[in-house]
Each structure stands twice: as structure tokens, then as C-alpha cells.
Amino acid sequence: SFSRAFNLDTSFMLPLMYNCWNYWMTSQYNQVDSLVRFLSQRRASLGRLELFVLDELNGRLSGNLAQGLSAMRQAGKLAPRSFYAFEWGYWALANNRPRECLEASKGLDARNQWEFYWIILAESYHLLGEHEKELEPAREGRRRFPTSSSPYYSELYALAAMERMNELRELI
């Protein structure tokens, strides 16, 4: 676990940052806030990538979308084939920057992505009005994650936007 990794080496801050994301996903915001304060007190000892992550976490906590995007843009450019590039895409989309989301996602290996990768690609194309392109990640997401409803909805949105009612009815 991330806490165990930190306990083995208390100079290794990245596991605590990952814990923040886990707490965020489970709505444990007080835990996130406590860890971010703890990490902020150690800002001088953090590496460049860790600083970007800390800035993203502060943006997340304060609701500052521009700060989150700025931090993850820098992290994603520093590590373009990493989770940080995905986060850059996520934050770009959250800031209504679908083209930037697609740019951030270019370097990622699609074979190893989770379902939200496919969803943010589909949503980006949807916002750009490129609904034929939107269908591709939506359908790939459905193929890879057949029990998830999110890629299914992405495909529904694309078909509805193109007014392809017969295909829409078949899918429903």
C-alpha cells in the first residue's frame, strides 16, 4: 500500500500523493486536506514532478481548475507517456479545452488504459462536434470494458448527436 511505502522510507513523498487521489476518489476530503498540508510543509524537499502533483492537489482542493490544469500540463509534458499525461488530459477537459485533452492523450499507450481514457477522448470529440471520431473511442471503451456503463453512454451521445436513430434504438 502507499502508506506502507511511505513508512518504509519517510523521504518518499509520492505514495502520500497517491493516497490523496485515493482519498479524493472515496470522498475523504479531510484526509486529502491533511495530507496536502503535511506535504506542503515539506515542499522544499520535493522533486519537480512531486511539486506539480502537489500544485494539482491544491488546485483540486480549492476548486481552482486552472491551477490543476497548469500543474498537470507541466507534469504531463515532463512525463508524456505516464499517468500525468492522462491527468493533463482530464484537467484540460475539465477546463473546457478538448483539443488540449486530445493533445495530452497522444503519447499514451492506448493498449494499457483504463475506461476513463476512452471516455475523455469521446467527450473531447463530442465537444468539438466531431461525432464520427467520437464513436471510435466510445466503441473501443465498450469493447474493452463491456460491463461498464460509461463507454456505453459515450456511444449513445455520439449516435444521438448524429441523429442516427436506428443505431441508437438498437443500442438501447
Question: What's the confidence (pLDDT) of residue 62?
Answer: 95
Question: What's the confidence (pLDDT) of residue 1?
Answer: 67
Average pLDDT estimate for 74-89: 94
Could you read off the pLDDT of 21-52 as tens digits, one per residue?
Answer: 899 999 999 999 999 999 999 999 999 999 99
What is the rounded CA–CA span in Å between residue 90 and residue 87? 5
What pLDDT band is residue 111 in, cutting at 50, 70 and 90?
A: confident
- Match 502520500 to its residue by C-alpha cell: 16
Question: What's the confidence (pLDDT) of residue 12?
Answer: 76
More confident residue, 58 or 107: 58
What pLDDT band is residue 15 in, cutting at 50, 70 and 90?
A: confident
Question: What's the confidence (pLDDT) of residue 4?
Answer: 73
Average pLDDT estimate for 75-104: 96
Indicate the SS3 state at residue 146: coil
What pLDDT band is residue 146 in, cutting at 50, 70 and 90?
A: very high
Question: What's the confidence (pLDDT) of residue 126?
Answer: 98
Give how far Cα 126 sits from Cα of 36, 44, 73, 113, 138, Å. 34, 42, 22, 20, 10
Percentage, residues of the chain above pLDDT 70: 97
Summary mean pLDDT of the chain: 93
Q: Is the pLDDT assigned to residue 165 strictly greater than 70? A: yes
Give how far Cα 32 sits from Cα of 21, 123, 147, Å. 8, 28, 30
Question: What's the confidence (pLDDT) of residue 5?
Answer: 62
Nearest to 95, CA basis, from 67, 57, 128, 62: 67
